[in-house]
Chain A
Amino acid sequence: MIEEHISSVYDRELEAVQAHIMKMGGLVETAILDAATSLENRDEELAAAVRRQDLQIDELEQRINTEAARLIALRAPAAGDLRTVLTVMKISGNLERMGDYAKNIAKRTSVLAQMTPIEGATSDLRRMAQAVELMLKDALDSYIHRDVDLAQDVRVRDGDVDQMYNAMFRQFLTYMMEDPRHITGCMHLHFIAKNIERMGDHVTSIADQVIYLVSGEVPTEVRPKADHTAFITTPTEG
């Protein structure tokens, strides 16, 4: 990618659309952290800001799609360029979904703020969100530097997030069994945890895209899956 296209306008267009991705990534990172912080601090204003911010993310996604479609139509990109455009479209989709999850967390924050806090849960969620945010940051870095190793690392780290989710899932189950009054709050908290876990999956998908972008092959080896909640049938005693 060191070489430049014969058409310099083409280069600029490709750079522009990728710059949008970076901007979008930055917005999503902020949204994740802010959502987690607002949850922990019961900061309804911050939560409202996160919900407003999502509009911007959606607009950016729209714009990236339009520009990518234009690039395909006018430049007929091939090989690496084609993969770049395809990747950009997919990553923007992933980022948009992550933005939606952050918005959803912010919504639930407003509800949770009205309830009795559940001890330790929000800070655990914030740590989980931070882990995902860090993964996203690394995934985007690996995209910029076309760094397959870093992308692989991100894929592996999704396992940790899944572990965290598993732990919280059990924790929430325990709380709900201990005191039925916690059920509403725990349900909300559980959805938040699930949202963060889904965000991790989207980050993994971004890392997959980076690997495809660089190597031309979609990673096939099964990445470490640690979300075993689907197999949990009986509540485990805390």
Chain B
Amino acid sequence: MNDMRIVERDVDTQAIKFDCENVQVYYGDNHAIKDVNVRIESNTVTAFIGPSGCGKSTFLRCLNRMNDTIDICRVEGKLSLDGENIYDRKVDPVQLRAKVGMVFQKPNPFPKSIYDNIAYGPRIHGLVDSKADLDMVVERSLRRGAIWDEVKDRLHAPGTGLSGGQQQRLCIARAVATEPEVLLMDEPCSALDPIATAQVEELIEELRTNFSVIIVTHSMQQAARVSQRTAFFHLGELVEFGKTGDIFTNPKDPRTESYITGRIG
């Protein structure tokens, strides 16, 4: 059985979801991301690791244009989702974000009921026609978020009353409810205890069957556990990108080696 799992983890190359070429990001005069080239595959968990301030979160936020809200942020280069340049003038970031969902570091449920939290996305995007449809979407999303059994009896209780781990799974369920193609996760477990972390990690593995997941994490062990591909960022550069197993046993770049073995690099 273990062998089966190893074979499964070591995925064949999948279709390319995000194709990023020569991406540069500037914050005012600060060159935050330098010439990043990366191809992110569908149905794969890709982990971004690196020390604080290395640009991994910045790059993640470029992928659904969350950086647009920052006035001084400027993105150059080609970032295409399924062959369409997401920074094209014709692209409305609102539509992009429906396709590329996001889960944040701190669990941030809306101060509304659990039901309304999940229903919000489908409502604003007009994905449902009737109350019955909406009920179905909510249930499906909560099941996908692996939290249905815990909340099915109190769908109208406030989402903020859940525990931290439950809140984060609720946020994942909320992101999933809009049927995105890619799920971005910005350190989703950094505020959670180990059990809740394990639950979220298990969930990420399940989500891989339907979505392409990109996760930024400070925990190298987490990257090793959940991802099939790992990208190591350092000082705004993409130092190394490859299969997670290779990166963690035999990295090619000495900077990667220094970082993942806990040396001053």
Contacts and interface: CB of A to CB of B under 8 A. Distances in A.
Nearest to B221: A76
A81 B249 contact: no
Interface stretch (A5-13, A126-134, A173-181): A5-13
B201 to A, nearest CB: 15
Contacts of B224: 78
Contacts of B250: 79, 83, 216-217
A217 B249 CA distance: 10
Interface residues of B, number: 17
Contact of B249 (A5, A76, A216): A216
A78 B246 CA distance: 11
B108 interface: no
Given A78-B248, A79-B250, A82-B249, A10 B257 contact: no
A6 B264 contact: yes
Nearest to A75: B262
A4 B249 contact: no
Interface string B167-191: 0000000000000000000000000
Q: What is the interface of chain A mostly: helix, strand, loop, or mixed?
A: loop
Contacts of B251: 79
B248 A79 contact: yes
Interface in A183-199: none
Given A78-B248, A79-B249, A4 B261 contact: no
B220 interface: yes
Of the listed residues B220, B224, B247, B249, the one surrounded by the most CB atoms of chain A closer than 10 A to its CB is: B249
Given A76-B221, A78-B224, A79-B257, A6 B249 contact: no
Most central of B220, B250, B256, B258 by chain A CB within 10 Å: B250
B97 to A, nearest CB: 35
A77 interface: yes
Interface residues of A, number: 16
Interface string A54-82: 00000000000000000000001111111
A217 B220 CA distance: 22
Contacts of A4: 263-264
Contacts of B161: none
Interface in B211-265: 220-221, 224, 247-251, 256-258, 260-265
Contacts of A216: 249-250
Contacts of A76: 221
A77 B261 contact: yes
Contact of A80 (B220, B221, B257): B257
19 contacts: A3-B264, A4-B263, A6-B263, A7-B262, A76-B221, A77-B261, A78-B224, A78-B248, A79-B250, A79-B256, A80-B257, A81-B261, A81-B262, A82-B248, A82-B249, A83-B250, A216-B249, A216-B250, A217-B250
Interface of B: 220-221, 224, 247-251, 256-258, 260-265
